[in-house]
Amino acid sequence: MTAPSFTSLGIPRWTAGFPALTYEPSTDDMEVLFDHLTYEDIAKTIDHSLLRPELDDKFVEENLRLAASYDVASATMRPADVERAVAALRGSGVLVGTVVGFPHGNHLTSAKVFETERALEQGAAEIDMVIQIAALRSGRDQDVESDIRAVVDAAHGAGAIVKVIFENAYLTDDEKVRACRMSEAAGADFVKTSTGFAPTGATHADVMLMRANTSSRVQVKAAGGVRTLDALLAVMALGVTRIGATATKTILDDFKARKADADAHVAADGAALDQGGY
């Protein structure tokens, strides 16, 4: 298989005509965005995360059914769960992703490549890899870029995409900018804020910094702390096209309820106008 093209990466249609904001989104900004979004736009922004170490088989199986029923973009699995997820989600339209070098990033590159290749053999379509955090902080940028490129080459060779996790809680802004540039140079498809296991997760400042320091070829994923529909709308307004979420049901149920309420108001307003006549 060949590397995925830009158009095959599932870039949402709502991004057309909605340039990423360079300031904190206002309530009005989010209302305008909400009005233009469909259920699919929101659902296909979510990678349903099943990565906590204590999750048992029953919980994983229930949440794979949830991911399928809500038709999200993907389920992000622990490496040991990839095969069962692929079987459970076959035919659903929901992809299976997994993590590499997780959560600390300081694995041997050869180990990351092996993890990637094994996950792809088992049916994973998306790889979320953690950079070599210590190497980045130490100024060994070539080592960081080579590490990313090795995983990207393995994944793209099988038609999969790569999201590069920075773990911003441990980085300075300069290090985040360098990580953006190295990720793009190495051919990554996404840059991602965090694993969800560090002291802090996705911040608006980090999302804006990452969007400003990558080209339109590279998408931005926010992970850690996006637990409500309003929080999702806010990062979408800043240019995010994927999030990692555990509160998937809450977010999507809220979206459906708000859309139904908005539709009811429109219908009521239309009925009032009809009764008024001319």
Instruction: Sketch the domain layout of the chain as residue ranges.
Output: 23-267
Q: 144-182, pLDDT tens digit by residue?
A: 999 999 999 999 999 999 999 999 999 999 999 999 999
What percent of the chain clears pLDDT 90, i.e. is strictly above it? 85
Report the C-alpha gap between 49 and 85 in whole angstroms: 12
Could you tell me how many helices (H) and strands (E) the chain has, helices first?
11, 8
Residue 239 has pLDDT above 90, yes or no: yes
Q: What is the pLDDT of residue 160?
A: 98
CATH 3.20.20.70 fits 23-267, yes or no: yes
The Cα angle at residue 6 between residues 124 and 223, in degrees rounded to 5 = 55
Tokens at 254, concatenated: 């809220």
For residues 181-205, give the mean pLDDT: 97
Helix residue spans in the chain (DSSP H): 27-36, 39-43, 57-70, 82-89, 109-121, 133-137, 141-156, 173-185, 204-212, 229-237, 248-276
Among 39, 67, 32, 36, smallest CA distance to 255 is for: 39
Of the listed ranges 7-11, 37-41, 189-193, 263-267, the least confidently predicted one is 7-11
Among 95, 63, 99, 60, smallest CA distance to 79 is for: 99
Report the C-alpha gap between 199 and 163 in whole angstroms: 20
The Cα angle at residue 269 between residues 265 and 275, in degrees rounded to 5 = 145
The Cα angle at residue 173 between residues 171 and 176, in degrees rounded to 5 = 65
Q: What is the pLDDT of residue 157?
A: 97
Report the C-alpha gap between 150 and 259 in whole angstroms: 44
Residues designated catalytic: 128, 192, 221
Q: What is the bridge-based pairing of β-strands 161-165 and 240-245?
A: unpaired
List, in order, residues 6 or more apart from 43 with CB less than 8 Å away: 70, 71, 72, 73, 252
DSSP 8-state code for residue 225: S
Q: What is the pLDDT of residue 8?
A: 46
With cut-offs at 50, 70 and 90, classify the pLDDT of residue 17: confident
Of the listed ranges 13-17, 56-60, 121-125, the least confidently predicted one is 13-17
Q: What is the pLDDT of residue 28?
A: 92
Q: 214-223, pLDDT tens digit by residue?
A: 999 999 999 9
Q: 85-140, pLDDT tens digit by residue?
A: 999 999 999 999 999 999 999 999 999 999 999 999 999 999 999 999 999 999 99
Max alpha carbon distance in the chain (Å)? 75
Report the C-alpha gap between 105 and 45 in whole angstroms: 25
Residue 3 has pLDDT above 80, yes or no: no
Tokens at 128, concatenated: 């979320």
